[in-house]
Amino acid sequence: MSRYYNGPVSDHFDGERFFDRHGAPQRSRRELLRWRFGPRSRALRAKWPAWAPSPYVDRPPARVEGAHWRISYVGHASFLIQTAGLNILLDPVWSKRASPFRLVGPKRVNDPGIAFADLPPIDVVLVSHGHYDHLDVATLSRLAAAHRPRVITPLGNDTIMRNHDRAIAAEAYDWQDRVVLGSAVALTLVPTRHWSARNLSDRNMSLWASFVIDTPGGRIYFVADSAYGDGHNFRQVRRRHGPLRLAILPIGAYEPRWFMRDQHMNPAESVQAFIDSGAEFALGHHYGTFQLTDEAIDAPLIALAGAVKAAGIAPERFCTLRPGQVWSDKSGNDDSQPGDGALGLTRT
């Protein structure tokens, strides 16, 4: 039986492991070794700078009330969403490495866009799945000690968290479960085309998900990791949860395509996912902090600009941020200070 979750068999759980009926067969360990250590693959792997700091730093207000949004980019897949009096962290990672080891594994090349000490009171944390660049138990322990937030996560990931620190207030849910976060905010866990693992023996023993967040200012669709596939999941979210105001979509960690296409989108696919979802705006993430794959540090941004232009989408509708920058729907956000990286983006 699964070490993380025991529950009834379903259309995506066989009694031991989770699966995706719309997914693809996962890459074998042999293919993983071929990618990571094959001579051709090593030759094609771009070299990132050892340190690529962001010029921005954000010091968020304590709260943002009402329907307005203030969304700060922490880095990689981590965001702070402030709206309706709630402070919500997405896939928070403040650790130096996205790895089970302290001295080995992908190391961040810039600081988080918000210093941990500058975080406002955190009410809710969303953790999409168990990969180390998304589920960072060290950061969750720090948050539990300092803020005691609710932690909402797909099935099985709560066990991973509690095995590390029982103080982490993790709540685990299945695809299509709806969770009320506050008087005006709720979310639904939705399928995404990905997988999970923490080691070589626990593949897919915890579930993965995206989140549709209902707020007074509109719906936010947060996709942490996902392949595009045939676009089924994005069109399904549009049908079941539209209209969406904002999609937060991954644009990085996609090369080489022969290995990554069934687990991570490239920028052109992210643009198509944006179109399929019907969202009004998009924010990109999953780039520029941890080198997980072979592309250069700036390749996702260059490719995204080209894909947005090719699709005939106004560039302000699909934005990218540096850690510490802020996307706000309130022009001239009165919480922003000169030099803190706030962008006065307005709805069109």
- pLDDT tens digit at each of 348 positions of the chain: 458 999 999 999 999 999 998 888 777 777 777 777 777 667 789 999 999 999 999 999 999 999 999 999 999 999 999 999 999 999 999 999 999 999 999 999 999 999 999 999 999 999 999 999 999 999 999 999 999 999 999 999 999 999 999 999 999 999 999 999 999 999 999 999 999 999 989 999 999 999 999 999 999 999 999 999 999 999 999 999 999 999 999 999 999 999 999 999 999 999 999 999 999 999 999 999 999 999 999 999 999 999 999 999 999 999 999 999 999 987 444 443 433 444 444 332
pLDDT at residue 233, rounded to an integer:
97
Within 10 A of 76 (CB to CB), how many other CB atoms are there?
29
Which of 293, 319, 294 has the alpha carbon at shortest distance from 305? 319
> Residue 135 forms beta bridges with which residues?
none
Which of 19, 12, 14 has the alpha carbon at shortest distance from 2? 14
CA dihedral 227, 194, 122, 212 (to 10 degrees): 70
Q: Which tokens belong to 226?
A: 């996902």
pLDDT at residue 342, rounded to an integer:
43
Report, in angstroms and rounded to the nearest whole number, the Rg of the chain calculated over CA atoms. 19
pLDDT at residue 40, rounded to an integer:
67
Q: Return d(Cα 50, Cα 121) in angstroms, integer.
A: 32
pLDDT at residue 2, rounded to an integer:
57
The three state secondary structure string of 223-287 is: CCCCCCCCCHHHHHHHHHHCCCCEEEEECCCCCCHHHHCCCCCCHHHHHHHHHHHCCCEEEEECC
Helix (H) or strand (E) holding 306: helix 299-310
250 upstream amide cis, omega within 30 of 0: no
Those residues whose C-beta lies under 8 Å from the C-beta of residue 301, and which sit 6 or more positions away, are: 251, 284, 287, 288, 320
Q: Which tokens belong to 81?
A: 């969403």
DSSP string, 164-198: H-TTSEEEEE-TT-EEE-SSS-EEEEE--S----S
pTM, full prediction: 0.94
pLDDT at residue 347, rounded to an integer:
33
pLDDT at residue 345, rounded to an integer:
46
| Sign of the four-CA dihedral 311, 312, 315, 318 | negative
Domains annotated for the chain, with CATH where assigned, are 53-329 (3.60.15.10)
List C-alpha distances in Å: 288 to 1, 116, 284, 296. Answer: 38, 19, 11, 9
Within 10 A of 30 (CB to CB), how many other CB atoms are there?
8
List C-alpha distances in Å: 192 to 22, 35, 141, 151, 313. Answer: 9, 24, 26, 19, 24
Which of 139, 141, 135, 200 has the alpha carbon at shortest distance from 172? 135
Give residue for tokens 């996702």.
300
User: Are the beta carbons of 345 and 336 closer than 8 angstroms?
Assistant: no
List phi, psi (to 5°) of 3. Answer: -80, -15
What is the β-pairing status of strands 124-126 and 178-180?
A: unpaired
Q: In what order do the strands lie in the sheet with 318-319?
A: 178-180, 186-190, 210-215, 218-222, 246-250, 281-285, 318-319
> Residue 118 forms beta bridges with which residues?
none
